[in-house]
Structure 1
Amino acid sequence: MSAPHRTAEEIGRTAAGPRPVPSLGTQRAAADLSHVDTTLSNGLRVLAVRKPTVPLVELRVWIPFAGEDKLHPATAEVLAETLLTGTARRDRIEIDADLALIGGDLASGVDPERLVVTGTSLADGLPTMLDVLADALTGASYADAEVERERERLIERIAVSRTQPRTIAREALQKHRYGDHPAVREVPQAEDVAVVTPEQVRALHRASVLPRGSVLVIVGDIDPETVIGDLEKAFGGWASDRSAVRLPPLPDLVGGNVLLVPRAGAVQSQIRLSAQTVSRTDPRYPALQLANLVYGGYFSSRLVENIREDKGYTYSAHSGFEFTDKTAVVNVDADTATDATAAALMETRYELARLGLVPPTAEEVESVRQYAIGSLVTAASSQGGLAAQLSALAATGLGVEWLAGHPERLAAVTAEDVANAALEFFAPKRFTGVVVGDADVLAPKLTALGDVTVGEPA
């Protein structure tokens, strides 16, 4: 016989009363590190951080990579797939062999905002990794055979991706939020990929793989002062008077109706809600971050307790921030069975309203504060985690100083600050979004809830 279900509140109690939340203790910086933050002569910003926990180096290159052309998303995807398949000096096999000798790896990916190259190697193999990377950035050849091979693989992956409910929901949300803005085109059309030529890929590289306005983050067993000279030497041939192309500003997200996107016969629905918030540099952001955790940002949140633990409407519910350039939104995600969708949306909205009207208690605030600070420190404890964090921050002009000071900002947030953030940013009327599911079943119940309209099929 299975044990009876216990709520989070019951789990947190003993015979003598609620389990006390341990004191937060003295806060230490998330990153108290030797580092250099500078700009090379070619306009590339570099954050070099010494973290000698293991004899490795982690590297991230972030290149703004927006484009207005209809074929840009497809061409950019093919470029990312073939950037490291050969140069004038090395073919694919030679690139792989050089990296293998230093325990290294390089990979590239792209989205509507940026082209990203990630790398890792043994610390003493850094000169080789930089040489291979610079070779690709300045001399990628995009050989016809390589482009054709990767293009066909990409077409197959896109076909599979477009059948996935999460991809369908994400695309529907983006179109509902931002219309025809270039940020919407995250997954290219297979028919567009099919017509991309090697020369178009080479032309895009020449026009858009540019150092000025880009960022390189390097973390590991290095001397930050010395590595700057190594980078100047390695990337001396990567230069242009033009700057990398940034996305046009996103329009402010305005609350409104939720769009029901029909997906005939679907046995599950995807609920995606979104609202405008503030960037990391806004003084209200630390309180907003804690308010989000209370709502749905971690497993012990109110939303998870309600629609997962108590009512069983979903296996996974979550809320979190999405940063694009200098803008930020908060997203709420939940996947539910079709017959539970209307009730799950109602409870999701209810918890949004309750967060403002029944503010987080002092105990809730202290719990999420510890979680936020602990997660930040933990993520920054590894070379890869620190490199990923700094790369995301550097894209908006921030760096080590912001990361190091954030635990103190979180520690200073009061319960009143969190209550104000909840009331200001989590009001249900601020949210819009989509529900993707079987409209024949869902439409009567969802429209009865109010503020739901039925759209075109996915």
Structure 2
Amino acid sequence: MSSPTQAHRSAEEIGRTAAGPRPLPALGAQRAAAELSHVDTTLGNGLRVLAVRNATVPLVELRLWVPFGGEDRLHAAIAEVLAETVLSGTARRDRVEIDAELALIGGDLGSGVDPERLYFSGSALAEGLPTLLDVLGDALTGATYSDTEVLRERDRLLERIAVARTQPRTIAREALQKHRYGDHPVTRETPEAHEVATVTPEQVRALHAASVLPRGSVLVLVGDIDPQSVPAEVERALGGWASDRVAVRLPVLPELTGGDVLLVPRAGAVQSQIRLSTQAVPRTDPRYPAAQLANLAYGGYFSSRLVENIREDKGYTYSAHSGFEFTADQAVLNVEADTANEVTPAALLETRYELARLGLVPPTAEETESVRQYAIGSLVTASSSQAGLAAQLTALASAGLGVEWLQQHPARLAAVTGEQVAQAALEFFAPGRFTGVVVGDADLLAAKLTALGGVTVRD
């Protein structure tokens, strides 16, 4: 232990010796992905069940993904209220009894919704899986949506929407969605408060009956379980959840084309939100592994070029990031940064510069190997826990993929060549392919941003 009077040493000092900087240890050899004992099957009611054994702890993680698209203008508002109240009581259990039964198995169960899906997530002691499934099945087939619960949760939701609509990230996300997709249902991530205020218990019950359907849905279970026995357990608990109709998927998104960035005025804002987006390729495309590595080199992790430029070198932003966004079997690539008003034009300029530089001066062999190791390592790390593996598999299953894709992806990343990364950089990161928004104070930003070119101001 150092004495109280000992001078504090910086990280740089700690990392140096009399002979120079301490050498970093060499990267270890990449291990092959572990085999996962699993079952992937579809039940008679059309529900796909993906059960995976991961016995690191005596728990089980549950994820249910129900396609929940809707084109009616009020769909988003009713769906939000439904997600808030689907676990508030059934014909067999009230809210207190649901919570009590889950507590006895060390469990929890929650629900949420977005324009693409209604989802349930929960966990419990592995021995409590039958109870967890029974509670879920009860909610799916017998949720009552009592007037009292619906009206109470509706009022709480109105308060949360009011707060959310004051948040810069929410405002920027909504602006980007509308700029990309117009009036497509995918843009209704946060419903309008006046629409939520009109939702009735009858509308919620009707939406449940019409749209909470097993055919086309996916149930993922990961934990200290025997995958072979899971389908029968799910059949017993959810066998009564049945319909000949198929759950409603979100309409196909229009393909993005490059175009001007739209300046969305937000009077008095002290910060601006830069959001750029372009069409990308889905996970099943042979070019995806190379595009994934190119994205990491551009802005996908802390040592990327974008972060090094506008955060570390110039201090324009605290955080900058780029990454893929998947909707069904489609994908886009997003770039985002929040900046102070006085540096917003410069930050946009440098963001575009790094896009162009990635194609013209592609990642070096050292950069490529660094992002490759990061991609493989982060995938393995994210899949090592039960919750992380369940999240990964749910995202894959919603696009029709499964355990095999996850296990084979490290090998695909390992096989990517530097030439393929360079080609992906040139193909997907050309500045002209991007469109997007800047949300900020137009009085301060309009003249400088429009002078950059490729920026228009919303009326």
Counterparts of 1:239-258 in structure 2, within 5 Å, are 239-258=242-261
- State the secondary structure of the residue aligned to 1:332: strand
- State the secondary structure of the residue aligned to 1:38: strand
Residue 323 (structure 1) aligned to one of 323, 326, 329 = 326
- State the secondary structure of the residue aligned to 1:273: strand
Alignment-derived partner of residue 99 in structure 1: 102
Q: What residue identity is the alignment partner of 2:26?
A: P
1:171 paired to 2:174? yes
Q: Distance in 1 between matches of 2:359 and 2:227?
A: 46
Residue 418 (structure 1) aligned to one of 418, 421, 427 = 421
1:367 paired to 2:365? no
Gap runs ≥5 in structure 2: 1-7
- State the secondary structure of the residue aligned to 1:108: strand
1:228 paired to 2:227? no
- Give 1:276 deviation, angstroms: 0.4
Alignment-derived partner of residue 38 in structure 2: 35
Counterparts of 1:358-397 in structure 2, within 5 Å, are 358-397=361-400
- State the secondary structure of the residue aligned to 1:142: coil
1:408 paired to 2:411? yes
Alignment-derived partner of residue 306 in structure 1: 309
Q: CA RMSD in A?
A: 2.0
Q: What residue identity is the alignment partner of 1:158?
A: I
- State the secondary structure of the residue aligned to 2:269: coil
- State the secondary structure of the residue aligned to 2:41: strand
Report the TM-score when normalising by structure 1: 0.96
Alignment-derived partner of residue 260 in structure 1: 263
Q: What residue identity is the alignment partner of 2:265?
A: P
Residue 72 (structure 2) aligned to one of 47, 69, 73 = 69
Q: 1:19 to 1:305 in 2, by over 3 A?
A: farther
Q: What residue identity is the alignment partner of 1:25?
A: A
- State the secondary structure of the residue aligned to 2:346: helix
- Give 1:94 deviation, angstroms: 0.3
Report the TM-score when normalising by structure 2: 0.95
Listed one character per residue, the Cα deviations across residues 60-115 of structure 1 (whole Å, up to 9, x for unaligned) are 00000000111100000000000100000000000000000000000000000000
Q: Distance in 1 between matches of 2:239 and 2:346?
A: 59
Q: Distance in 2 between matches of 1:318 and 1:64?
A: 29
- Give 1:334 deviation, angstroms: 0.1
Alignment-derived partner of residue 283 in structure 1: 286
Q: What residue identity is the alignment partner of 2:240?
A: G
Residue 139 (structure 1) aligned to one of 124, 138, 142 = 142
Q: Distance in 2 between matches of 1:36 and 1:138?
A: 25
Alignment-derived partner of residue 85 in structure 1: 88
Name the count of aligned residue pairs. Answer: 450
Alignment-derived partner of residue 344 in structure 2: 341
- Give 1:16 deviation, angstroms: 7.2
Q: What residue identity is the alignment partner of 2:348?
A: L
- State the secondary structure of the residue aligned to 1:42: coil
Listed one character per residue, the Cα deviations across residues 238-295 of structure 1 (whole Å, up to 9, x for unaligned) are 0000000001100000011000000011100000000001000001100000000000
Residue 208 (structure 1) aligned to one of 184, 207, 211 = 211
Q: What residue identity is the alignment partner of 1:455?
A: R
Gap runs ≥5 in structure 1: none
1:434 paired to 2:428? no
- State the secondary structure of the residue aligned to 2:66: strand
Q: Distance in 2 between matches of 1:355 and 1:275?
A: 15
Do 1:257 and 1:452's aligned partners in 2 also have CA atoms closer than 8 Å?
Answer: yes
Do 1:24 and 1:370's aligned partners in 2 also have CA atoms closer than 8 Å?
Answer: no
Q: Distance in 2 between matches of 1:26 and 1:87?
A: 50
Listed one character per residue, the Cα deviations across residues 305-338 of structure 1 (whole Å, up to 9, x for unaligned) are 0000000000000000000011100000100000
1:446 paired to 2:456? no
Alignment-derived partner of residue 29 in structure 2: 25
Q: Distance in 1 between matches of 2:61 and 2:30?
A: 30
- Structure 1 residues 19-28 or 446-455, which shifts more? 19-28
